[in-house]
């Protein structure tokens, strides 16, 4: 980014906005289990990672950026950079392809990743580089790797990270294949929605590693036993991310729900079940199960990966309700 923020004395506004964001995240309870992350959010300047972003406007998107001539618009850009909301950072042909996630959700995910000093972390989906900076602040540059399929995204992330004083490994490649040359990893975190669990990730993990990833409007947290087996449950937290792009990820199925009662098709937890079981469970069968089980919450569901087989389940991996994953 340019020098307007310095030339026009917006450092104070940035510091105030960052402090307000930290207080808002703290009030949400996101890092109660690991308050060390507060220091990272206090230290890493988010505005350096979003020199421009898009906000919804009539008929499309409005671009805000740090090089605005109007000082009021520059301040609007700067304050917006510290709002506890996701920011659209790349739009192609009217479609969102990259964003900076909601900071309080990022904080929640980082806490749930359960990192400890010395852990090697792989991030799938470089985005703006902000999440990699938070990880690098906590663990050190040499222990953090972030990967993205789009060279424009990785180049921008690398520049943003350098501007903020961080230098983790930024790799251009298919995130579904991992980054074997930097393995093994103690933690893998994805910032893009999956439709299946890529097997190369397990092979690149140490025994006992954690994988945290968005799937089916939720967050799955897996414990890796070895290169062929992982299992875990969903968190209760809803999560909506752009899909993982790459050759190893199948297209998501979108079953038609028009014939179902509105109370079901508009319910967040029913849509979670439909997304999780897409291609395996007929929507009417899903409705019958959902009503019979009294609208089960996300944390009752889990995923098991064993060899070439993977399945989602309700309550028990060996119980009566299970569905194959791609």
Which residue in the list 98, 104, 156, 322 is annotated as catalytic?
98
Task: Give the SS3 label for residue 123.
Answer: strand
Q: Is the peptide bond prior to 261 cis by the omega test (within 30 degrees of 0)?
A: no
Integer-rounded Cα radius of gyration of the chain: 20
Nearest to 78 by CA among 157, 152, 20: 20
- The per-residue b/e assignment along 84-95, b for 16 or more CB within 10 angstroms, e otherwise, is bebbbbbbeeee
Angle between helices 11-28 and 103-113 (to 10 degrees): 60
322 has catalytic annotation: no
Angle between helices 71-81 and 11-28 (to 10 degrees): 30
Nearest to 169 by CA among 141, 135, 211, 134: 141
Question: CA-to-CA distance for 37 and 66, rounded, in angstroms?
Answer: 27
User: 93-102: long-range contacts (C-beta < 8 A, 24 or more apart)?
Assistant: 94/60, 96/242, 97/150, 97/242, 97/245, 98/127, 98/128, 98/150, 98/153, 98/242, 99/127, 99/241, 99/242, 100/46, 100/49, 100/50, 100/53, 100/127, 100/128, 100/130, 101/127, 101/131, 101/191, 101/241
Active site residues: 98
């Amino acid at each position: 980014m340019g020098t307007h923020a310095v030339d026009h004395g917006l450092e104070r506004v940035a510091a105030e906005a960052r402090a307000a964001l930290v207080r808002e995240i703290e009030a949400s309870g996101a890092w109660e289990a690991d308050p060390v992350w507060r220091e990272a959010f206090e230290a890493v300047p988010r505005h350096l990672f979003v020199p421009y972003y898009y906000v919804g406007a009539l008929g499309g998107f409005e671009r805000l950026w740090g090089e605005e001539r109007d000082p009021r618009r520059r301040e609007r850009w700067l304050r917006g950079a510290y709002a506890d909301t996701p920011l659209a950072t790349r739009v192609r042909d009217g479609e969102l392809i990259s964003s900076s996630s909601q900071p309080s959700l990022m904080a929640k995910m980082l806490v749930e990743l359960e990192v400890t000093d010395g852990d090697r972390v792989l991030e799938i989906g470089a985005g703006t580089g902000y999440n990699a900076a938070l990880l690098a602040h906590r663990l050190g540059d040499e222990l953090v790797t972030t990967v993205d399929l789009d060279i424009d995204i990785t180049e921008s992330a690398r520049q943003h990270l350098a501007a903020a004083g961080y230098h983790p490994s930024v790799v251009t490649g298919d995130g579904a294949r991992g980054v074997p040359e930097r393995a093994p990893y103690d933690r893998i975190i994805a910032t893009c929605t999956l439709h299946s669990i890529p097997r190369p990730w397990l092979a690149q993990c140490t025994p006992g590693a954690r994988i945290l990833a968005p799937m089916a409007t939720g967050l799955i947290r897996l414990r890796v036993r070895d290169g062929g087996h992982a299992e875990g449950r969903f968190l209760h937290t809803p999560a909506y991310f752009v899909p993982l792009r790459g050759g190893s990820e199948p297209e998501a199925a979108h079953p038609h729900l028009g014939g179902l009662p509105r109370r079901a098709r508009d319910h967040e937890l029913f849509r979670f079940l439909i997304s999780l079981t897409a291609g395996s469970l007929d929507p009417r069968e899903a409705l019958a199960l959902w009503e019979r089980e009294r609208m089960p919450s996300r944390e009752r569901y889990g995923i098991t990966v064993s060899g070439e087989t993977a399945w989602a389940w309700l309550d028990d991996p060996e119980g009566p309700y299970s569905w194959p994953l791609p």
